[in-house]
C-alpha cells in the first residue's frame, strides 16, 4: 500500500466507514466501483444503473439538516424490501442486484438521522462514498484502482468502465464527456442550451489561452485513481463546487485526461435546488428569466485574450513582474498584482532554479482556482458578464442560436481535449 493511502485512511477518511462484508465462506470481490450521492431520488434510477458485471455501486443516501427527506425513506425501504440484502451495520446494507456479481452498498445517512451540515452537502456524500471505495480497494474487495463518481440522474454509457485508462497510463484523474437530454419545455430547453454553452465557453476560453487547467469539472463525470485521491486528501466537503476543487488539486499531480466521445454521459436537464449552483439551479434561474438571451452569464472574450497573453509570457521564459505582464492591459496587471503575483514570482525563483521548474512552480500557484479568480477580477460576476446576444457578437458566433453555439463549442472543446 502506498504510504499516502495509509496516511489518508488513518487521518483524513471519514469515521465509522462500513466494515468489509462477510457471510460464511462467501468472499465478496468486484472489479469496478462507482460512487453516487443520493438526495430525494425515487427508486426509478436503480433500473438505469450499469448492467456491468462485477460492479459495486456505493450509494450514499443523505439530506442536509432542515430539508425534507421523505423520498430518501421510500428509496431505502424499496431497496431493502425488493432485493436480497446483507446487513453490515445499523445503517449500512449490501444489496444484491440482478446480474453477474452486481451489488449496491447502501449507506443510509438520512433515515432517523439529523442529516449533514448544509455547508458540507454533496461534497461530504461523495467523500464518504469514495472513502469507502478506497478502504475496500485496500482490503482487496475492489480490484481496479479507479474510483468512479457520478450522480443518480446521470445515464452512463455501456463503455463507462472500459474507457478508463489502463494501469500503465499515468494520469491521476479522468473526465467523461457529457451531454444533456432534451428538456421538457421550450423555455427549459433554451435555458439548458444557454447553461451548457456557459460550461463549454469557459473551457474553450481556457483552451484558447493554453491554460493547463482546461478541462470540464462536473461531479457526474469524473473518476480518480486511488493513490491520487489519497494524495489530494479526498473530496472537499462543500455543498457545491467540490468537483472543481477536487480536479484542481488532481491536476497538480499530473495531466487530467478527457475520455473519448463514445463514453459520453447523458445528464438530466431537470430543475433542482439540491445544490446552490450547478445545472439544476442554472436551468431554474434561466427558465424563470423573462428575457434569457439578455441575461448576463458569459465571460467576455477579452478576458481569455489577456489570460493567453500572460501564459504566453510565462511560456517564453519571463520571470519578472514586468516581463510576465508585458503587453497586458492595465486592468490585467492590476488583477495579477491583487492576486499576489509579485510575491509568487519570488517563491517560484527560489524553488524553480531552472526555467522548466520555474514554470512548473508558477502553474502550481496560478492554478485553476486562481485562474478563475483572475477572470473574475476582470469580469465580476454581477457586473462584468455578457448576455448571449452580446457574447455571440463579440465571439464571432452571431449567426448561431444558443443550441448551435453550444454544440459548436462542445465539439471544439472535445476535439482539443481528447486529441491532446
pLDDT exceeds cutoff 60 at 272: no
Distance CA 231, CA 96 (A): 32
pLDDT band at 169; cut points 50, 70, 90: confident
How do residues 331-352 score in pLDDT, each as one tens digit?
999 999 999 999 999 999 999 9
Q: How high is the mean pLDDT of the chain? A: 93
Q: What is the pLDDT of residue 25?
A: 57
Question: Which residues lie closer than 8 Å to 114 by C-beta, 6 or more apart?
Answer: 65
Residue 265: phi, psi to the nearest 5? -95, 130
Q: What is the pLDDT of residue 178?
A: 97
pLDDT (average), residues 142-146: 97
Q: What is the pLDDT of residue 57?
A: 97
How do residues 118-134 score in pLDDT, each as one tens digit?
999 999 999 999 999 99
Question: Which residues lie closer than 8 Å to 26 by C-beta, 6 or more apart?
Answer: none
pLDDT exceeds cutoff 80 at 37: yes
Q: What is the pLDDT of residue 75?
A: 93
pLDDT band at 89; cut points 50, 70, 90: confident
pLDDT exceeds cutoff 90 at 278: no
How do residues 180-198 score in pLDDT, each as one tens digit?
999 888 888 999 999 999 9
pLDDT exceeds cutoff 60 at 24: no
pLDDT band at 23; cut points 50, 70, 90: low
- H, E, C per residue of the chain: CCHHHHHHHHHCCCCCCCCCCCECCECCCECEEEEEEECCCCHHHHHHCCCCCCEEEEEEEECECCCCCHHHHHHHHHHHHHCCEEEEECCEEEEECCCCCEEEEEEEECCCCCCECCCCHHHHHHHHHHHHHHHHHHCCCECCCEEEECCCCCECCCCCCCCCCCCCCCCCEEECCEEECCCCCHHHHHHHHHHHHHHHHHHHHHHHCCCCCCCCCCCCCEEEEHHHHHHCCCCCCCCCCHHHHHHHHHCCCCCCEECCHHHCEEECCCCCCCCCCCHHHHHHHHHCCCCHHHCCCECCHHHHHHHHHHHHHHHCCCCCHHHHCCCCCHHHHHHHHHHCHHHHHHHHHHHCCCHHHHHHHHHHHCCHHHHHHHHHHHCCCCCCCECHHHHHHHCCCCCCCHHHHHHHHHHHHHHHHHHC
Q: What is the pLDDT of residue 378?
A: 97
Sign of the torsion angle spanned by Cα atoms 20, 26, 31, 34 = negative
Q: Which residue has the cell 494501469?
A: 167
pLDDT (average), residues 27-46: 92
pLDDT band at 211; cut points 50, 70, 90: very high
Q: 128-142, 220-234, 288-302, 384-398: lowest mean pLDDT where? A: 288-302
Task: Please give the model's pTM, rounded to 2 decimal places.
Answer: 0.95
How do residues 397-415 score in pLDDT, each as one tens digit?
999 999 999 999 999 999 9
Amino acid at each position: 500500500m502506498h504510504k499516502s493511502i495509509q496516511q489518508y485512511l488513518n487521518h483524513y477518511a471519514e469515521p465509522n466507514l462500513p466494515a468489509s462484508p462477510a457471510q460464511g465462506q462467501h468472499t465478496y470481490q468486484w472489479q469496478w466501483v462507482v460512487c453516487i450521492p443520493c438526495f430525494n431520488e425515487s427508486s426509478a434510477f436503480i433500473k438505469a444503473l450499469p448492467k456491468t458485471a462485477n460492479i459495486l455501486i456505493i450509494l450514499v443516501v443523505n439530506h442536509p439538516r432542515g430539508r425534507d427527506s421523505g423520498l430518501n425513506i421510500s428509496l431505502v425501504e424499496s431497496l431493502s424490501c425488493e432485493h436480497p440484502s446483507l446487513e453490515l451495520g445499523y445503517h449500512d446494507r449490501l444489496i444484491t442486484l440482478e446480474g453477474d456479481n452486481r451489488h449496491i452498498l447502501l449507506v443510509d445517512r438520512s433515515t432517523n438521522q439529523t442529516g449533514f451540515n448544509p455547508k458540507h452537502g454533496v461534497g461530504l456524500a461523495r467523500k464518504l462514498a469514495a472513502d469507502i471505495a478506497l478502504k475496500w480497494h485496500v482490503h482487496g474487495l475492489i480490484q481496479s484502482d479507479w474510483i468512479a463518481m457520478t450522480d443518480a440522474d446521470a445515464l452512463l454509457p455501456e463503455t463507462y468502465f472500459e474507457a478508463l485508462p489502463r494501469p500503465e497510463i499515468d494520469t491521476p484523474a479522468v473526465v467523461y464527456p457529457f451531454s444533456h437530454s432534451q428538456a421538457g419545455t421550450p423555455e427549459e430547453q433554451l435555458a439548458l442550451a444557454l447553461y451548457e454553452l456557459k460550461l463549454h465557453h469557459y473551457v474553450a476560453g481556457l483552451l484558447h489561452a493554453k491554460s493547463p487547467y482546461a478541462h470540464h469539472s462536473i461531479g457526474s463525470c469524473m473518476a480518480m485513481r486511488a493513490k491520487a485521491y489519497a494524495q489530494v486528501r479526498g473530496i472537499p466537503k462543500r455543498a457545491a463546487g467540490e468537483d472543481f476543487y477536487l480536479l484542481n488539486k488532481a491536476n497538480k499531480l499530473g495531466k487530467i485526461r478527457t475520455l473519448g466521445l463514445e463514453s459520453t454521459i447523458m445528464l438530466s436537464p431537470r430543475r433542482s435546488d439540491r445544490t446552490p449552483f450547478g445545472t439544476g439551479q442554472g436551468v431554474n434561474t434561466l427558465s424563470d428569466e423573462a428575457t434569457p438571451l439578455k441575461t448576463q452569464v458569459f465571460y467576455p472574450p477579452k478576458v481569455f485574450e489577456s489570460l493567453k497573453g500572460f501564459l504566453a509570457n510565462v511560456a517564453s521564459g519571463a520571470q519578472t513582474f514586468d516581463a510576465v505582464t508585458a503587453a497586458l492591459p492595465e486592468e490585467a496587471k492590476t488583477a495579477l498584482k491583487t492576486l499576489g503575483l509579485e510575491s509568487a514570482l519570488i517563491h517560484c525563483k527560489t524553488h524553480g532554479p531552472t526555467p522548466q521548474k520555474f514554470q512548473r512552480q508558477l502553474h502550481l500557484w496560478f492554478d485553476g482556482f486562481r485562474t478563475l479568480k483572475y477572470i473574475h477580477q476582470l469580469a465580476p460576476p454581477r457586473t462584468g458578464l455578457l448576455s448571449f446576444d452580446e457574447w455571440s457578437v463579440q465571439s464571432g458566433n452571431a449567426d448561431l442560436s444558443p443550441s448551435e453555439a453550444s454544440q459548436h463549442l462542445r465539439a471544439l472543446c472535445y476535439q482539443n481535449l481528447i486529441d491532446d
